[in-house]
Structure 1
Amino acid sequence: MPLYIVGLQGMTRRLQSVPVDGWAPALLVALLGVAVMIVGAACQIIQLVVSIRQRESLRDETGDPWDGRSLEWSTPSPPPAFNFARLPHVEDEEPYWSIKQRAIEGQSPEVPESYEPIEMPKNSPTGFVSAFFATVIGFALIWHIWWLAIVGLAGAYATFVVFAWRDEADYEIPAGEVERVDRARLETREAWYRRREGVA
């Protein structure tokens, strides 16, 4: 900001000396700003080096590096495709915090006796193809290329029809796979809590 002020007062970009005494305080503030930015960049480089050197001891095993309180922190990182093996039981505003407090008190998490397979949608290029045709339509309408706009509309409609009438739109994750992933997550969390509390 100080450089904008002295620029409006007529200072050029490159100077060998400061010809106007009134510019010196603004230039000093700008110099201090540069020093702060250099210190910030140095701190970021140091943090990066320390993080790389100590990556094994700093690695998060739980998906909850910030000791979060809400449900998104209860999944591993990266989360499985199905997010939750079963619907979480929510009793208050901070459900995951309540689960962690019960674990600290020594209560084991609720583990279902049996798991169910989970239906998941298949990956689909529909969004990408629709965006392509929308771009074609927009370009054609801006430049008044009517035949191209009609082609874009026809392509968008065909994409809609193909997507709406496809037969196999989903797949099933077997119950065994869901159970394996969920039990591994629970074991990792339990071991981490025991280590944190010094029980190990």
Structure 2
Amino acid sequence: MLKFHRDRQENPPPRQRWGQRAAFCWIVGFMLAFFPLYALGLLGMPRRSAAFFEPAYLPWTMAAMVGAVVILVAMLCLLIQLWISVRDRHANRVPGGDPWDGRSLEWSVSSPPPEYNFPVIPEVHSRDAYMRQKETGGGAHPRPDDYGDIEMPANSAMGPIFAITGFLLAFGLTWYQWWLIVAAGVASLIALIARGYVRDTTRLIPAAEVRRQHETWLATLASLTPVTRADEQSAANRGLPASPIEGAVQ
């Protein structure tokens, strides 16, 4: 076990390496970019100065500039990590939904989870209900006796609308662009009033569709190879831990 963790530390996967680089650059860059500003404030430098003629300010401003460059490198590392994650998304999928042998119910569904989360409302009788299901003979993923229709909120454009108008409103308030403030406020008010006239606010997922999705996932679980704790961070981990789940898929 110790050898495995040592090997993982020495040879982490690419996305983890770029994440470590991003974290290091963020920490160092933040300290370099912002800590010198405290010294500049103590030296008497005013904020938002376009130019200065005090030689004592120069070393601190140069340090802050280096910090800003390091932060840019950190952002670049994050973008590379995102690209690697998207590129390798199929190899890194964990359809079983439980890659870390979780204890609570959010790990008892597929990854990504269905929009309704659970095919039937789970009954909880103890703390760490999912782990309790694993430890008992009933299995961690029992098939429900019956499925029912699930009512879900209907899709709405209010979220994106408020995100855009809120950004425009904040931008206008920051830069005193009153025409933009009024336009964004009026657009938000119109969207809010229009939403009040919407009557179809829910939609129904038929029980047959819920059954189909859940049965498909259970079949996927049955095809997965359980992994031990030592292999959790390997490519073999598809979201089904080996212990204490033996024969959990019924």
Shorter-normalised TM range: 0.5 to 0.7
Q: Does 1:184 align with 2:216?
A: yes
Q: 1:158 aligns with which of 190, 198, 218?
A: 190
Q: 2:144 aligns with which of 89, 96, 112?
A: 112
CA-atom RMSD in angstroms: 3.6
Give the Cα–Cα distance (whole angstroms) in 2 for the partners of residues 92 and 122 of structure 1: 33
Question: Which range is displaced more, 138-147 or 169-178?
Answer: 138-147
Q: What aligned pairs does 1:94-113 form with structure 2 within 5 A after superposition?
A: 94-102=128-136, 105=137, 110-113=142-145
Cα separation, partners in 2 of 1:199 and 1:110, compared to 1, 3 Å: closer
Q: What SS is found at the alignment partner of 2:13?
A: helix
Please list the CA deviations of residues 65-104 of structure 1 after superposition, one character each: whole Å capped at 9, or x if unmatched: 11111111100111111110111111112100111122xx
Could you tell me which of 147, 158, 170 is aligned with 1:138?
Answer: 170
Of 94, 114, 122, the match for 1:88:
122
Aligned-pair identity (%) = 33
TM-score (norm 2): 0.50
- 1:65 is matched with 99
User: What count of residue pairs does the alignment treat as equivalent?
Assistant: 153
Cα distance change of structure 1 residues 168 and 124 upon mapping to structure 2, 3 Å threshold: same
Counterpart Cα distance in 1 of 2:161 and 2:139: 50
Q: Distance in 2 between matches of 1:125 and 1:46?
A: 34
Q: Indicate how the Cα distance of structure 1 residues 120 and 99 shifts in structure 2: closer, same or farther if over 3 A, else same.
A: same
Q: Which runs of 5+ in 2 are unaligned?
A: 1-7, 18-87, 228-241
Mapped to 2, the partners of 1:157 and 1:46 lie a distance apart of 43
Q: Distance in 1 between matches of 2:151 and 2:248?
A: 39
Change (3 A) 1:150 1:43: closer
Q: Which amino acid aligns with 1:64?
A: D
* 1:23 counterpart residue number: none
1:9: which partner in 2?
A: none
SS of 1:119's equivalent in the other structure is strand
TM value normalised by structure 1: 0.61
Higher relative contact order (CA 8 A, sep 6+): 2
Q: Deviations over 1:147-188 (max 9, x none)?
A: 332221111111111223212222211100111222333454
Q: In 1, Cα distance between the equivalents of 2:185 and 2:127?
A: 46
SS of aligned partner of 2:147: coil
1:55-74 per-residue CA deviation (whole Å, 9 max, x = no partner) reads 5xx86442111111111110
Aligned-partner Cα distance in 2 for 1:147–1:164: 26
Give the 3-state SS of the residue equivalent to 1:120 in structure 2: strand
CA distance in 1 between partners of 2:9 and 2:141 (Å) = 43
